[in-house]
């Protein structure tokens, strides 16, 4: 009860810094604040609409884009269930709350979950799909799934993991992403770029070795994550995004 009251006070105190889009999002996240929203002076809201965005970040769809070092705002909603414990290594008396299952094909992964799984319609010759995995709670409820893709490394004449598509059911909402500035001149940094090249409006993060993509669809968080050192160029990965399709 105390937590609910504190949350209501925070929202009431910061509504003046929230634009119409953010206000609507808060109403969806927290139905109990709708009476408060109805009392907010519209003129006051529009007058300082950008204040929260300048201080805390920006709500973009179901993402919360934050600047480096900014703490997680209190209006963020955490999932009821955290990640399951599926490995007892390093634990004295592990209490495993979940398990993982490996699949040899992308199609098998898609058949084992009740949400869309994505792959690519046109892979270059140096890439191949290599199946994936599903992580479940002991109850059988799916926590996350992934499909992986390998790249043929001509230098060592071996296949190695290049990137994966991660799908998660339980995540913080709105999902926070932080930007960062370079520590030294011309050093690596994290820039959050909006993109409409994904199944739903999402975020692209360029990295020193490539780029990662994020989107949320039907209550599922999707992440295309490139493996560090995979040497997959941004041009190749950008072309792949254009062939992203659901597994039948």
- Min mean pLDDT across 28-32, 111-115, 144-148 is at 28-32
pLDDT category of residue 143 using cuts at 50, 70 and 90: very high
Element (DSSP H or E) covering residue 182: none
pLDDT category of residue 10 using cuts at 50, 70 and 90: very low
81, pLDDT greater than 60? yes
pLDDT category of residue 209 using cuts at 50, 70 and 90: low
Average pLDDT, the chain: 78
Q: What is the value of pTM for the model shown? A: 0.74
Give exposure, 7-24, as e/b (b: 16+ Cβ within 10 Å).
beeebeebbbbbbeebbe
Element (DSSP H or E) covering residue 234: helix 234-241
**Residue 83 tokens, joined:** 């990640």
155, pLDDT greater than 90? no
> Phi and psi dihedrals of 92, rounded to 5?
-65, -55
User: Residues in the chain, how many?
Assistant: 248
How many Å is the Cα radius of gyration of the chain?
A: 21
Residues 6+ apart with CB under 8 A from 105: 129, 131
Find, among 177, 146, 178, the residue nearest to 161 by Cα.
146
How high is the pLDDT of residue 230?
62
Find, among 226, 214, 229, 222, the residue nearest to 246 by Cα.
222
Cα 193 to the center of its chain, rounded Å? 14
């Amino acid at each position: 009860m105390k937590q609910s009251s504190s949350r209501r006070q925070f929202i009431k105190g910061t509504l003046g810094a929230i634009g119409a889009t953010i206000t609507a999002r808060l109403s969806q996240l927290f139905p109990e604040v709708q009476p408060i929203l109805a009392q907010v002076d519209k003129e006051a809201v529009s007058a300082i609409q950008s204040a929260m965005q300048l201080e805390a970040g920006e709500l973009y769809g179901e993402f919360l884009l934050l600047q480096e070092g900014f703490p997680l705002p209190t209006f963020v909603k955490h999932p009821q269930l955290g990640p399951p414990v599926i490995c007892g290594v390093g634990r004295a008396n592990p209490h495993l709350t979940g398990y993982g299952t490996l699949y040899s094909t992308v199609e098998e992964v898609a058949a084992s979950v009740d949400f869309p799984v994505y792959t690519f319609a046109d892979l270059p010759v140096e890439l191949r799909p290599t199946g994936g995995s599903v992580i479940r709670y002991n109850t059988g409820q799916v926590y996350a799934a992934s499909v992986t893709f390998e790249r043929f490394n001509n230098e060592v004449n071996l296949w190695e993991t290049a990137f994966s598509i991660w799908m998660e059911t339980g995540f913080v909402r709105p999902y926070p992403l932080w930007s960062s500035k370079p520590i030294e001149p011309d050093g690596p940094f994290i820039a959050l770029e909006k993109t409409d090249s994904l199944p739903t409006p999402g975020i692209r993060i360029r990295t020193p070795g490539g780029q990662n993509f994020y989107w949320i669809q039907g209550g599922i968080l999707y992440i295309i994550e490139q493996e560090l050192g995979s040497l997959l160029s941004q041009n190749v990965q950008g072309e792949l995004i254009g062939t992203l399709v659901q597994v039948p």
